[in-house]
Structure 1
Amino acid sequence: MTLHGVDTVQPMATGTLIFLIIGGAGVAVLAVALLGTELFQFGHPDVDGPVSVEAIAGFTGAFGFGAAIVNELVGGRTPGALAAAVAGGALAAVPTAWVAVRLSRAARTMRTDATPTRNDLVGALGLVVTPVPVDGYGEVRVRVAGQPVKLNARADGPIPVGARVFVVTALSDTSVHVETY
């Protein structure tokens, strides 16, 4: 709109503001879902219920922001324009919710390596970092599943710092019996 040769900005339509608030609520629900909080949890804790949180967040966010965009593009001051905005928001929301569900399902069912157990310590090669006495514990650093792990260590005889060792048995999850090699 031009007034005396100066461009003026029209205020945002009330419907657009409401749609933006709905979109913001969807983003807030998504943030809560990403933080691991089980919002809208119905039934068994391991089941998402009839609709997952990610689907609700994706649908609500896309609906709100999509409808706000359409509402501003069509002028959004009449019931017909608001109906067009709602239709545009729904058109954006359905595929977004579907993608959100697919991505969250893929993340939840992603294959990962097995968690190492004390049996994985047996045969590991390592280095003495604290001397191993005859009747006590020292410390060794070994690699388990590619990660360095420091463990308490016993041996049949004394072993000095810097000696190379291998694990003969796992006495517990944090202690081993070692021999030099």
Structure 2
Amino acid sequence: MGWTTVLFIIVGAVGLGLLALSMLGGELFDFDGADSVLSIEVVAAVLAGFGFTAAFISALPGVDLPLALVAALGAIAAVPVAYLAWLLTGRARNMPTDATPNRTDLVGRPGVVVTEIRAGGYGEVRVRIGGQQVKLNALADEPLPAGVHVLVVEAPSDTSVKVRLADPERN
């Protein structure tokens, strides 16, 4: 393995290291914000694509290309790698997500009593919201034993709800 191959491998490794830092550091290393074509991920992809492609070409057995041609081929190979990095990071940054569920989303949800709700006191219910099971303090107009299916009718706070019996025939 010649010194040029080692040099190109080092350039590719620096690109991978920079990519790892950008993944861990997030926006600390961005040059011009998330909307820019010149992001740290794109620069890392250019370095890695250039370095590893040029190292591969320079290490081919029986092929002795001039250093300038090897570097040019590495640069050409770095273009689609950079484009893919730009495309993927842009899509990841602009990915649509659902709104964060809040207490108004609890009203109307079915649940199950986990800890008995006594008359005039609190118990606990388990309700599914946003794909997650949450356990909440619960109040009811009538005592409800554990295991009973209920329906949330009010959410006075983020951690407590008022419930009623969901379907008397189901319980």
Instruction: Tell me the TM-score range normalised by the shorter chain.
Output: 0.7 to 0.9
Q: State the secondary structure of the residue aligned to 2:153.
A: strand
* Counterpart-to-counterpart distance in 1, 2:161 and 2:134: 12
Instruction: Note closer, same or farther for the CA distance 1:50–1:162 as it changes in structure 2 (3 Å cut).
Output: closer
Q: Which amino acid aligns with 2:57?
A: V
User: Is the radius of gyration larger for structure 1 or structure 2?
Assistant: 1
User: Residue in 2 aligned with 1:68?
Assistant: 55
The reply on whether 1:28 has 2:13 as its aligned counterpart is: no
The reply on whether 1:122 has 2:107 as its aligned counterpart is: yes
Match of 1:94 among 79, 84, 102: 79
By how many angstroms is 1:85 displaced? 1.3
Q: Give aligned pairs, total.
A: 164
By how many angstroms is 1:98 displaced? 0.9
The runs of 5 or more residues in structure 1 that have no matched partner are 1-11
* Counterpart-to-counterpart distance in 2, 1:59 and 1:133: 65
Match of 1:85 among 54, 57, 70: 70
By how many angstroms is 1:135 displaced? 3.0
TM-score of the pair, normalised by structure 1: 0.82
Give identity over the alignment, percent: 51
TM-score of the pair, normalised by structure 2: 0.87
Q: Which amino acid aligns with 1:134?
A: A
By how many angstroms is 1:49 displaced? 5.5
User: Residue in 2 aligned with 1:134?
Assistant: 119
Q: Which amino acid aligns with 2:99?
A: A
Q: Is the 8 A contact 1:41 1:48 kept in 2?
A: no
